[in-house]
Amino acid sequence: MWREGGGMKRMLLLITTLLLLTTTAVCGGWGRTQAPDSGGTSRGENKNGKKTVIVSMLFLDEVFREAKKKFEQKHPDVEIRLTYVQTKDNWKVGDQERFIKSTNAEMLSGKGPDVLVLDPLPMGKYASSNALVNLSRFMDQDPSFHKDLYFGNILDNLHINGVLYGMPMRFMLETMVGDEGAVRKAGVGIDDTVWTWNEFAETAKAMKKSGSPAAYAASPPSMLKAMVKADYSSFVDEPNRKAKFDQASFIRLLNEVKALFDGKVIADKPAVVSFKSAYIQNPEEFFSFPRALYKQPKLYRSPLAVGQKPGGFYMPEQILGINENSTVKTEAWAFIKFMLSDDIQGVNGLGGFPLNKDVYGRQLDQVLKNGKVKIEDGPEEGGSVDVNPADIEFQKELISGLIHPIPTNTSMIEDVLLKESKAFFTGQKSAEEVAKEIQDRANTYLNE
């Protein structure tokens, strides 16, 4: 989806972040590379008698280097070995699919690393195949782990059949930023605690009558993809490897998306629009980034799917899981706990909101103490936004109400949606025909 005007530096950062979630970079084919300060690739006990924990990821975020160093200082009997895809600059079409298939083959055959960054991988498939450790049990049985120190709503809504298999280190807040001047001019009321995409469309139509531009800009397939991701579990049952795109609700969604474009509510090319989606990456950006989009912005919760439970949307990041076949589960769990500690969650430059509530609280206190946040992008770049206690409370309210995780491992399904839905939006095939094709391709992928 497109955003109009400003925000270029911040946008490049976000694009890089999302690229790392959805793109596999490679060196020498598509195999993993080790951090220079790591030893071999065998797990268990190394030649020095230390326990070895292999931590695997697509891209080596520098925070893992920092965590390895500090963890090994506190645990001299454990060595953390980091394996990753070496560079984000050397990749080609097809690498991501091959990487996922390779990792699937390892994990589903009892092999693989001890700890995985699960963001691009089919966590539900691993969970249903008993390839991942039940982290809920570890949390309950570890007296040193205090769940109340972390955002419980973020963790609880990542459960698969009542069990947590992946522990996120951080998260981003998905929002809708509106042009408050245009909203006021139209005289429309918005209750973003319960509004759906259908109500968003009605709001947009009312605003258009008052002379406002299109409400939003996206290509029809991209709009469909975003709406499916927002209610992903209604269309994809990953643990049971079943797609649900042949049901009436998806056919209805196809027609609803088409109607948005036919009615010119949404522009199908970059345009001046009244609303823009935005991922907010930290407490300061909550105040500054909307001003990169509009002179009079207002931040709203993202619209819900029809029938979806009221609540906010978030994208979990750096989701860590433990291989059920690891011989060093205790040490792997200790490393995950360390990643949640103040030492790591408070590292400067760590993107996203921290899962650790104390670290978040200190960050928010500092923002309030400063009283202003610098605008980093857009036409007002270099200016500042005043911060007051009411704004702080609104941010806390939004975060406490986050219950809908945006999945990060949907790239293969997204490709299917983007490619197959074009035939419907261009009038070449019916909604029913396209739904069947998407259903067949999605099921093929889910059962590979």
The tokens for 188 are: 């429309």
The tokens for 254 are: 């196809």
- The per-residue pLDDT for 114 is 98
Is a pLDDT exceeding 70 seen at residue 398? yes
Mean pLDDT estimate for the chain: 88
The sign of the torsion formed by the CA atoms of 27, 29, 35, 36 equals negative
| 123 burial type by CB count under 10 A (0-12 exposed, 13-18 middle, 19+ buried) | buried
DSSP for 330-363, please give it.
Answer: HHHHHHHHHHTSHHHHT-TT--SEESBHHHHHHH
The tokens for 146 are: 């205090």
Q: What Cα–Cα distance (Å) separates residue 154 from each residue in 332, 378, 426?
A: 21, 31, 39
Is a pLDDT exceeding 70 seen at residue 20? no
In this structure, the number of other CB atoms found within 10 A of the CB of residue 237 comes to: 15
DSSP state of 155: H
- Regarding the domain delimited by 20-170+317-353, which CATH topology (the fold level of the hierarchy) does it fall under? D-Maltodextrin-Binding Protein; domain 2 (3.40.190)
| β strands within 50-203, DSSP E | 51-56, 78-84, 115-117, 167-179
Residues 250-287: pLDDT tens digits?
999 999 999 989 988 888 888 889 999 999 999 999 99
Residues 173-223: pLDDT tens digits?
999 999 999 999 999 999 999 999 989 989 988 888 888 888 899 999 999
| 378 burial type by CB count under 10 A (0-12 exposed, 13-18 middle, 19+ buried) | buried
Cβ contacts of 247-254, under 8 Å, gap ≥ 24: 250/435, 250/438, 251/431, 251/432, 251/435, 253/224, 253/227, 253/228, 254/224, 254/421, 254/424, 254/431, 254/434, 254/435
Q: Do the domains spanning 20-170+317-353 and 172-312+407-446 agree at the CATH topology level?
A: yes
Beta bridge partners of 115: 55, 322
Per-residue confidence band for 21, with pLDDT thresholds at 50, 70 and 90: very low
Q: 172-312+407-446 belongs to which homologous superfamily?
A: Periplasmic binding protein-like II (3.40.190.10)
Residues 48-93: pLDDT tens digits?
789 999 999 878 888 999 999 999 999 999 999 998 874 455 565 6
Is a pLDDT exceeding 80 seen at residue 247? yes
Of the chain, the end-to-end C-alpha distance in Å amounts to 30
> Which of helix, strand or coil describes residue 77?
coil
pTM of the model: 0.89
C-beta separation of 245 from 441 below 8 A: no
- Domain boundaries defined on the chain: 20-170+317-353, 172-312+407-446
Residue tagged 């995409």 (tokens): 197
> Which of helix, strand or coil describes residue 99?
helix
Give the integer Cα–Cα distance in Å for 38 and 49: 15
- The per-residue pLDDT for 209 is 85
DSSP for 270-313, please give it.
Answer: S---SEEEEEE-STTHHHHTHHHH-SSEEEEEPPBPTTPPS-EE
Beta strand pairing call for 236-237 and 242-243: antiparallel
